[in-house]
């Protein structure tokens, strides 16, 4: 092999995992342990604030504020918490506002997964104050956000790449969710669907390891019992399964309404003539009033989910609880305070599912509707419709209750909710806020088409090459002619034996430094850049960008000195034609009115 080939630049072949991935796995395990610990610390902080604020005692036990004896003074407690959170956001970091996941998504998409270090402290502290003083939020959102911040911070300290930081951020978030609910599989799915925006071994393995480690930490503190206790369920009948799917569809429509109302409340706060620092205190007035009349709307409300799934609350009591909880949560969340959305959505969805299930069971007793399964389906369907994290919703409901007989109803109902949400709503409760800021959030994950096509298939053939010893004068005459191939923009240069020397462009051949008396090989200025016929077009495209070239010869591994084709940037675009043709066939099969409607919606 000649010196030109020894120095040739070839595409970097991508591997599923490498030593660097092993290193990131090690960091993810550390993040998993840390996030598991943070979850326990935050839970105890919430317990401490709750005990001090509602019971006047110093204790870290996790209690519900619903049993307080403050009377009308209970309205003041959330307001005090709102003032403190507003001050922390104003003078600490505005990033603590919100429920955590959209903010983490924004950092992934816009800031190369860099979360400021102060968020690691301020987010859990503000959440503990907000929730501990009665905020109607779950602890899981702030824990997820804090876990993600821990992963991002570790990645920044160790100077990792943006992709590696994203993986560490997602690992921390998944570990935080797992440490809260003991749901490692759904936590990994949440990371995939809402943070990673991909499903690759190099990102999936570290995240899964972090979730597994966080599960072990949780077991060490609270044991192995499911997050939500639920009586054993029986296999549903065919008619009941159909009813659960319809129920999921109805909850999906409700999820769209819930999302729109939440952002309508947020928009209303935007029009207030006071600084946003005071909004959390203003929203907390509604929290206090709701808590005065319905005490169980205060705090995280995990006990409410337990009662709903067990069938221990029904009828008017359930309607009041879920209705007032929604009012309290939507106003408080819209005010920009610190808290989570998962638990409130589960409560509202579970209550709505239980109510619909009870009505269906009363109207059609022969179907054998189980109100508890209906509540479980409603819980998962609400989250699936509001967030469009379908697999996360189904697996989460199963993991937190460990009721295998609920899996099929969960899949049917959540899928129906997901379908209706996609049809009726453009963005989700997780993405609407950041989409309004101009961020484009991926909503579909498909295999890279360029990764499925090889360079050998896409390369232009036959190869029109130039001899290295040709005089430039003769080459220029040929280029000005109308001969076949003379209009190409780039040509491989070969020696007398037909073996590659380099690539030259028309610009080189007609450049001011090129003299008629020169030979073609004298114009070669850079190492040869080639691609193998079995290289993917994704590898070739990356190679072109890294080398700053627009075309390169394609060779075989058996004969790397002989070009079998030329691949240019236009060939990469042409490779998409088959995919676009398939899409166009699908479009052409639609009625004309439907095609026009789809076009208007895209515009």
Q: Is the peptide bond before 462 cis (omega within 30 degrees of 0)?
A: yes
Task: Tell which of 153, 188, 222 closes a domain.
Answer: 222
Does residue 598 lie within any of the structural domains? no
What DSSP state is assigned to residue 564?
A: E
Mean pLDDT score, 538-551: 89
Q: What angle do CA 335, 338, 342 make, to 5 degrees?
A: 100
- What was the pLDDT predicted at 18? 85
- What was the pLDDT predicted at 1? 43
Mean pLDDT score, 555-583: 84
Does residue 311 lie within any of the structural domains? yes
Confidence of residue 2 (pLDDT cuts 50, 70, 90): very low
- Considering the domain architecture, whether residues 135 and 250 belong to the same structural domain is answered as no
Mean pLDDT score, 465-484: 85
Q: By mean pLDDT, which of 111-125, 212-226, 489-503, 580-594 is the weakest?
A: 580-594
Answer with the residue of higher pLDDT: 112 or 310. Answer: 310
Cβ 297 vs Cβ 321: under 8 Å: yes
Cβ 102 vs Cβ 320: under 8 Å: no
- What was the pLDDT predicted at 526? 81
- What was the pLDDT predicted at 589? 55
Confidence of residue 476 (pLDDT cuts 50, 70, 90): confident
- Considering the domain architecture, whether residues 377 and 270 belong to the same structural domain is answered as yes
- Considering the domain architecture, whether residues 166 and 283 belong to the same structural domain is answered as no
- What was the pLDDT predicted at 126? 86
- Considering the domain architecture, whether residues 323 and 273 belong to the same structural domain is answered as yes
What is the extent of the structural domain holding 363? 238-436
Mean pLDDT score, 375-404: 94
Question: Which residue's entry shows tokens 């690992």?
Answer: 171
Among 266, 368, 283, 271, residue whose Cα is nearest residue 328: 283
Among 71, 197, 193, 44, residue whose Cα is nearest residue 132: 44
Among 111, 183, 561, residue whose Cα is nearest residue 394: 183
Dist CA 146 CA 124 (whole Å): 7
- What was the pLDDT predicted at 6? 52
Task: Tell which of 380, 409, 436 closes a domain.
Answer: 436
CATH (domain of 413): 1.10.3080.10
- Considering the domain architecture, whether residues 492 and 567 belong to the same structural domain is answered as yes
Does residue 478 lie within any of the structural domains? yes
Dist CA 296 CA 117 (whole Å): 35
> 3-state SS string over 395-453?
HHHHHHHCCHHHHHHHHHHHHHHHHHHHHHCCCCCCCHHHHHCCCCCCCCCCCCHHHHC
Q: Is the pLDDT of residue 154 over 60?
A: yes
Q: Is the pLDDT of residue 600 over 50?
A: no
The phi-psi region of residue 500 (left if phi > 0; otherwise alpha if psi is between -120 and 50; otherwise beta) is beta
Dist CA 331 CA 285 (whole Å): 9
Dist CA 421 CA 415 (whole Å): 10
pTM for this entry: 0.85
Dist CA 554 CA 544 (whole Å): 13
- What was the pLDDT predicted at 106? 73
Q: 385: which 2 tokens?
A: 């419709």
Dist CA 465 CA 502 (whole Å): 10
Work out whether the CA dihedral 487, 488, 491, 495 comes out positive or negative.
negative
Does residue 600 lie within any of the structural domains? no
Q: Please give the distance of CA 390 from its chain centroid, rounded to a whole number.
A: 12
Does residue 7 lie within any of the structural domains? no
Beginning with the edge strand found earlier in the chain, give each strand of the sheet holding 500-505 in spatial order. 466-467, 490-494, 500-505
Q: Where would I find the H helices in 199-278? A: 201-222, 238-270
Does residue 479 lie within any of the structural domains? yes
Cβ 211 vs Cβ 187: under 8 Å: yes
Task: Tell which of 436, 460, 489 closes a domain.
Answer: 436
Q: Is the pLDDT of residue 345 over 60?
A: yes
- What was the pLDDT predicted at 602? 45
Confidence of residue 583 (pLDDT cuts 50, 70, 90): low
Q: What's the length of the chain?
A: 603
Confidence of residue 480 (pLDDT cuts 50, 70, 90): confident
Q: Is the pLDDT of residue 464 over 70?
A: yes
Q: Is the pLDDT of residue 469 over 70?
A: yes
- Considering the domain architecture, whether residues 534 and 424 belong to the same structural domain is answered as no
Cβ 554 vs Cβ 532: under 8 Å: yes
Q: 517: which 2 tokens?
A: 């008396």
Q: 299: which 2 tokens?
A: 């705090």
Does residue 38 lie within any of the structural domains? yes
Q: Is the pLDDT of residue 601 over 60?
A: no
For residues 147-175, one letter each, b for 16 or more C-beta atoms within 10 angstroms of the residue's C-beta and e for the rest, the string is bbbbbbbbbbeeebeebbbbbbbbbbbbb
Dist CA 532 CA 543 (whole Å): 11
Mean pLDDT score, 245-261: 95
Question: Which residue's entry shows tokens 């016929």?
Answer: 533
Q: What is the average pLDDT value for the chain, to the nearest integer?
A: 87
Q: Is residue 323 packed enough to be buried (19+ CB in 10 Å), middle (13-18) or exposed (0-12)?
A: middle
Q: By mean pLDDT, which of 45-49, 54-58, 92-96, 156-160 is the weakest?
A: 92-96
- Considering the domain architecture, whether residues 330 and 419 belong to the same structural domain is answered as yes
Tens of pLDDT, residues 353-383: 999 999 999 999 888 899 999 999 999 999 9
Q: How many domains does the structure of the chain reveal? A: 3
Mean pLDDT score, 68-78: 90
- What was the pLDDT predicted at 440? 79
Among 245, 217, 590, residue whose Cα is nearest residue 384: 245
- Considering the domain architecture, whether residues 125 and 73 belong to the same structural domain is answered as yes
Q: Is residue 419 packed enough to be buried (19+ CB in 10 Å), middle (13-18) or exposed (0-12)?
A: middle
Work out whether the CA dihedral 99, 102, 103, 108 comes out positive or negative.
positive
Mean pLDDT score, 142-167: 88
State whether residue 190 is helix, strand or coil: helix
Q: Is the pLDDT of residue 587 over 60?
A: no
Dist CA 177 CA 140 (whole Å): 6
Beginning with the edge strand found earlier in the chain, give each strand of the sheet holding 531-532 in spatial order. 531-532, 551-555, 563-568
Q: H-helix or E-strand containing 602?
A: helix 592-602
Strands 551-555 and 563-568: antiparallel
Among 175, 167, 189, 165, residue whose Cα is nearest residue 145: 175
Q: By mean pLDDT, which of 87-91, 439-443, 491-495, 585-589 is the weakest?
A: 585-589
State whether residue 494 is helix, strand or coil: strand
- Considering the domain architecture, whether residues 261 and 407 belong to the same structural domain is answered as yes
Question: Which residue's entry shows tokens 């950041």?
Answer: 434
Question: Which residue's entry shows tokens 């809402």?
Answer: 194
Q: Is the pLDDT of residue 178 over 90?
A: yes
Dist CA 327 CA 122 (whole Å): 27
- Considering the domain architecture, whether residues 94 and 122 belong to the same structural domain is answered as yes
In Å, what is the CA distance from 154 to each residue of 72, 171, 194, 370, 525? 46, 11, 21, 47, 43
Does residue 8 lie within any of the structural domains? no
Q: Is the pLDDT of residue 595 over 80?
A: no
- Considering the domain architecture, whether residues 426 and 456 belong to the same structural domain is answered as no
- Considering the domain architecture, whether residues 206 and 59 belong to the same structural domain is answered as yes
Tens of pLDDT, residues 193-204: 888 888 889 999
Q: By mean pLDDT, which of 349-358, 389-398, 418-427, 437-446 is the weakest?
A: 437-446
Tens of pLDDT, residues 515-540: 888 888 888 888 888 899 999 999 99
């Amino acid at each position: 092999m000649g010196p030109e080939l020894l120095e040739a630049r070839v595409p970097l072949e991508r591997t599923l995992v490498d030593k660097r991935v092993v290193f990131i796995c090690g960091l993810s395990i550390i993040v998993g342990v840390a996030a598991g610990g943070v979850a326990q610390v935050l839970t105890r902080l919430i317990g401490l604030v709750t005990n001090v604020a509602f019971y006047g005692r110093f204790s870290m036990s996790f209690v519900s504020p619903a049993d307080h004896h403050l009377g009308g003074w209970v309205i003041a407690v959330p307001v005090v918490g709102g003032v403190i959170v507003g001050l922390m956001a104003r003078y600490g970091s505005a990033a603590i506002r919100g429920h955590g996941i959209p903010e983490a998504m924004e950092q992934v998409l816009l800031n190369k997964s860099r979360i400021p270090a102060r968020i690691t402290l301020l987010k859990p502290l503000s959440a503990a104050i907000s929730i501990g003083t009665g905020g109607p939020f779950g602890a899981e959102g702030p824990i997820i956000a804090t876990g993600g911040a821990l992963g991002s911070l570790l990645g920044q300290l160790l100077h990792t790449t943006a992709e590696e930081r994203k993986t560490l951020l997602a690992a921390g978030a998944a570990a935080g969710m797992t440490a809260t609910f003991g749901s490692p599989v759904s936590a990994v799915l949440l990371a995939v669907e809402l943070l990673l925006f991909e499903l690759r071994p190099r990102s999936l393995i570290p995240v899964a390891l972090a979730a597994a480690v966080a599960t072990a930490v949780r077991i060490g503190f609270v044991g192995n019992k499911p997050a939500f206790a639920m009586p054993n369920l029986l296999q549903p009948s065919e008619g009941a399964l159909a009813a659960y799917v319809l129920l999921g569809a109805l909850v999906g429509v409700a999820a769209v309404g819930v999302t729109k109302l939440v952002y309508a409340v947020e928009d209303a706060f935007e029009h207030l003539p006071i600084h946003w620092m005071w909004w959390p205190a203003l929203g907390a007035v509604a929290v206090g009033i709701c808590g005065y009349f319905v005490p169980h709307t205060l705090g995280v409300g995990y006990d409410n989910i337990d009662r709903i799934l067990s069938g221990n609350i029904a009828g008017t009591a359930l309607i009041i609880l879920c209705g007032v909880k929604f009012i309290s949560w939507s106003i408080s969340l819209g005010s920009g305070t610190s808290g989570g959305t998962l638990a409130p959505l589960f409560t509202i969805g579970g209550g709505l599912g239980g109510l619909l299930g009870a009505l269906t069971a009363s109207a059609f007793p022969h179907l054998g509707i189980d109100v508890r399964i209906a509540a479980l389906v409603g819980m998962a369907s609400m989250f699936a419709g509001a967030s469009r994290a379908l697999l996360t919703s189904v697996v989460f409901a199963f993991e937190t209750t460990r009721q295998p007989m609920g899996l099929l109803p969960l899949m049917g109902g959540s899928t129906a909710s997901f379908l209706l949400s996609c049809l009726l709503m453009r963005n989700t409760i997780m993405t609407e806020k950041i989409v309004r800021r101009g961020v484009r959030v991926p909503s579909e994950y498909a295999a890279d088409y360029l990764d499925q096509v090889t360079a050998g298939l896409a390369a232009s053939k036959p190869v029109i090459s130039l001899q290295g010893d040709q005089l430039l004068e003769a080459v220029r005459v040929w280029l000005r002619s109308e001969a076949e191939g003379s209009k190409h923009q780039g040509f491989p240069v070969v020696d007398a034996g037909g073996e590659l020397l380099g690539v030259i462009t028309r610009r080189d051949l007609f450049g001011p430094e090129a003299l008629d008396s020169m030979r073609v090989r004298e114009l070669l200025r850079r190492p040869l850049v080639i691609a193998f016929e079995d290289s993917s077009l994704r590898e070739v495209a990356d190679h072109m960008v890294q080398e700053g070239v627009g075309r390169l010869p394609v060779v075989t591994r058996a004969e790397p000195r002989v070009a079998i084709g030329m691949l240019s940037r236009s060939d990469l675009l042409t490779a998409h034609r088959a995919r676009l043709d398939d899409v166009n066939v699908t479009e052409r099969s639609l009625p004309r009115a439907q095609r026009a409607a789809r076009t208007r919606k895209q515009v």
